[in-house]
Amino acid sequence: MLTKKELIDHINETYNLSPEYIFKKFPDYCVFRHQKSKKWFGVLMSVPEEKIYDDASDHRIIDILDLKVDPELGGILRGKEGYFPAYHMNKEHWISVDLRKIEKLDELADLIDGSFKSTQ
């Protein structure tokens, strides 16, 4: 399971960017964005499991990461465990990833980089 800390550390080390906590109503949510353009390339959120899983029954809070992806790649990824149409973003161009389903950061590193590059 990938932790929020591992994810934040990776983005900080790779892109020299820190998370920005911009939502007063949701103080645990953070965005990752380009310093110059201010465009987002990732959103890290802690959400009730039932917001992502139709069959959720125990109301747990889970950590998800929204990333921008090519629509074709998004369609492929949504067929894999732990990948979903984006929560609170354009569902054609963004996906949500359940961090509990990611074993190693390597599984997400290329997707994070793709999101970073596509939003420059």
Q: How many residues does the chain have?
A: 120
The domain locations on the chain are: 4-118
- Residue 101 is classified by DSSP as G
Sign of the dihedral through C-alpha 61, 65, 70, 75: negative
pTM: 0.94
Per-residue pLDDT of 61-115, as tens digits, reads: 999 999 999 999 999 999 999 999 998 898 899 999 999 999 999 999 999 999 9
**Burial classification of residue 90, based on how many CB atoms lie within 10 Å of its CB (0-12 exposed, 13-18 middle, 19 or more buried):** exposed
Q: Under CATH, what is the fold of the domain 4-118?
A: Aspartate Aminotransferase, domain 1 (3.90.1150)
Per-residue pLDDT of 1-26, as tens digits, reads: 999 999 999 999 999 999 999 999 99
